[in-house]
Amino acid sequence: MLHEQEKAGKIVAELSMYFMTLGATRINSSIVLEERQGRITFEANYPPEQKEKLRELECLNQQRNDGIEEIYWELAGVGSHGDSSQLLLIGTMIDKAEISIEDESVKLALYKDF
């Protein structure tokens, strides 16, 4: 389970840096690790002029790839901050993403089966 905890931590760190790069001043996250699934909830504000950039969050809805995850998960957070390739990597590590973009705030719920 420690391996999965490390992955969840990397995901939260990368999302935090992504939103700080966009100009977020308020970020909240939580991680719930259950026996068969992990859930990361994440909420951040963003400046209105960055709304178009939030389209990149759709990268989180790509299909999970266990092979890529096992090889590259440790690279989460290593690339350029705010780089959408890091979002692509997170997308390969999770099973499902729920994304809600509102005026000046974003809410995410990410699910990962163990």
Measure the CA–CA gap between 88 and 105, rounded to whole angstroms: 21
Judge residue 59's burial from the number of C-beta atoms within 10 Å of its C-beta, 0-12 exposed, 13-18 middle, 19 or more buried: middle
Domain count, the chain: 1
Nearest to 95 by CA among 8, 19, 10: 8
- For 84, other C-beta atoms within 10 Å of its C-beta total 16
Task: Determine contact, residues 101/54, Cβ cutoff 8 Å.
Answer: yes
Report yes or no: 32 and 42 within 8 Å, Cβ to Cβ: no
Return the CATH number at 41: 3.30.565
pLDDT at 82: 58
One digit per residue, pLDDT tens: the chain, 114 residues? 677 888 899 899 999 999 999 999 999 999 999 989 999 999 999 999 999 999 999 999 988 888 877 776 776 655 565 567 789 889 999 999 999 999 999 999 999 998
Residue range(s) defining the domain that contains residue 78? 2-113
